[in-house]
């Protein structure tokens, strides 16, 4: 999850990136953008017109309406086979905590095979290995305990702002993705997809200002060099923090014409998400997912640490934006909890402990800071993970009281 200093920095980065093209007379985004009229229309992939992923929000709304109506259910309930779903949030280097939990969970002996895995931002990196299974725990450990910022991207502000519209360029990250996302790796993902499991990664479609969800297993099943290249681009885009790293261009063809979309880190529109495949749809208004488990791994704390020090303009702006992102994730967790309650799933949440001292800038990648984070998550899981089974705001004292004055005393 984003922190105030991080967002304040990005606000200034984005402003510089936006202004520089006017100063140097160059265009930093592709010239063959989809036209406005086309963006307003619905796009369907050829041969997949009838293949529609169920809308999670629609499921929640229908289930809540059915629960509140009190009307008796008629007909048989199509109970879906119990599933294990893993939702990995955005969070930069804090993803080390999620990686540690997965490895410790394996050692504890209770880690399930996940039927659905979703990831945003750094959660996208974790999602691939989590989906493939415990045999990749060492890969996760190496990435989140031995990687420094210089291994992933180079900060050359003047050069990169001129040519890429960002402060940094992901030379190292591109290399890591190319080494890890191979034909063999995609073949493993394709085999899991064909067995009914699903891996989804979210990016921000900058043209549409909306979350784009990529069905990685479906792409992998095509088994072509183009599918490998696309998955690499999706993962790179998922980790392309606006302002810090350049967006990723993805070529699309609509009605026979070629256009270029630009995608980046989706954390500003979705810190996490759930998506079902058509064969996994629960019957609306029923507890069809009884026995299923939803695991939400937060790469960060549920509540932000207070902002300390002199409140300059960037810190104030950053605190405001960061607060909205924390609020976004809380609302997403409440929505996921509503989905669980109305379908019979069990809600499970793990986050970095409130009293754990963490660096405030989640994109300042330092192995020496990620190692203890990884170890903290690992030990928590090895000892038997204690999952929170209520969303934020459900416990006494988690929602602020209305004030009637300005004189207070602390409560212990």
The reply to whether 127 belongs to the active site is no
Considering the domain boundaries, does residue 3 fall inside one? no
CB 90 within 8 A of CB 120: yes
Tens digit of each residue's pLDDT (9 = 90 or more) over 189-224: 999 999 999 999 999 999 999 999 999 999 999 999
Residue 41 resides in a domain: no
Residue 45 belongs to some domain of the structure: no
Annotated catalytic residue 184 = no
pTM of the model: 0.88
For residue 263, tell me if it sits in a domain.
yes
Could you report the per-residue pLDDT of 85-140, keeping only the tens digit for each?
Answer: 999 999 888 999 999 999 999 999 999 999 999 999 999 999 999 999 999 999 99
Identify the domain containing residue 219 by its residue range. Answer: 59-68+80-383
CATH of the domain at 114: 3.40.1090.10
Say if 12 falls within a structural domain: no
What per-residue confidence (pLDDT) applies to 253? 94
Q: Which of 89, 98, 121, 166 is catalytic?
A: 121
Domain assignment present for residue 181? The answer is yes
Q: Is residue 97 one of the residues assigned to a domain?
A: yes
Cα separation of 218 and 199, whole Å? Answer: 9
Determine the Cα–Cα distance for residues 274 and 187; give it in Å rounded to an integer: 24
The count of domains in the chain is 1
Rounded CA gap, 253 and 23, in Å?
33
Residue 152 in this model has a pLDDT that exceeds 90? no
- Model pLDDT, residue 389: 96
Pairing of strands 84-88, 293-297: parallel
Domain for residue 344, yes or no? yes
Q: Which of 115, 137, 215, 265 is catalytic?
A: 265
Average pLDDT score over residue span 373-387: 96
């Amino acid at each position: 999850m984003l922190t105030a200093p991080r967002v304040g920095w990005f606000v200034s980065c984005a402003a510089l990136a936006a202004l520089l093209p006017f100063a140097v007379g160059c265009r930093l985004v592709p010239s063959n953008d989809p036209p406005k009229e086309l963006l307003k229309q619905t796009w369907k992939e050829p041969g997949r017109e009838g293949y529609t992923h169920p809308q999670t929000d629609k499921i929640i709304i229908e289930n809540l309406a059915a629960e509140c109506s009190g009307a008796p259910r008629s007909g048989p309930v199509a109970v879906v086979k119990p599933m294990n779903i893993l939702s990995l949030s955005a969070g930069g280097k804090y993803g080390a905590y999620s990686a540690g939990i997965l490895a410790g969970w394996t050692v504890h002996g209770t880690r399930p095979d996940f039927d659905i895995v979703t990831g945003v931002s750094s959660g996208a990196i974790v999602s691939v290995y989590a989906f493939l299974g415990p045999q990749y725990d060492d890969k996760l450990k190496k990435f989140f305990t031995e990687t420094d910022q210089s291994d992933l991207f180079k900060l050359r502000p003047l050069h990169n702002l001129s040519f890429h519209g960002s402060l940094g360029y992901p030379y190292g990250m591109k290399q890591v993705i190319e080494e890890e996302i191979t034909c063999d790796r995609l073949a493993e993902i394709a085999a899991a997809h064909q067995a009914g499991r699903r891996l989804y990664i979210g990016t921000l479609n900058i043209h549409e200002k909306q979350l784009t969800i990529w069905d990685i297993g479906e792409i992998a099943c095509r088994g072509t060099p183009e599918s490998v290249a696309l998955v690499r681009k999706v993962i790179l885009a998922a980790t392309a923090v606006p302002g810090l790293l350049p967006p990723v261009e993805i070529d699309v063809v609509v009605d026979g014409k070629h256009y270029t979309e630009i995608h980046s880190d989706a954390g500003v529109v979705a810190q996490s998400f759930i998506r079902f495949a058509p064969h996994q749809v629960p019957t609306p208004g029923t507890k069809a997912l009884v026995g299923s488990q939803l695991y939400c791994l937060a790469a960060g704390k549920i509540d932000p640490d207070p902002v300390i020090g002199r409140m300059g303009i960037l810190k104030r702006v950053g605190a405001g934006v960061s607060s909205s992102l924390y609020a976004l994730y809380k609302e997403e967790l409440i929505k996921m909890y509503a989905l669980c309650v109305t379908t019979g799933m069990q809600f499970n949440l793990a986050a970095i402990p409130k009293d754990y001292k963490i660096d405030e800038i989640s994109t300042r990648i330092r192995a020496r800071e990620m190692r203890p984070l990884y170890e903290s998550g690992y030990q928590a899981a090895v000892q038997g993970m204690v999952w929170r089974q209520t969303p934020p705001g459900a416990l006494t004292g988690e929602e602020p009281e209305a004030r009637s004055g300005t004189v207070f005393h602390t409560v212990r």
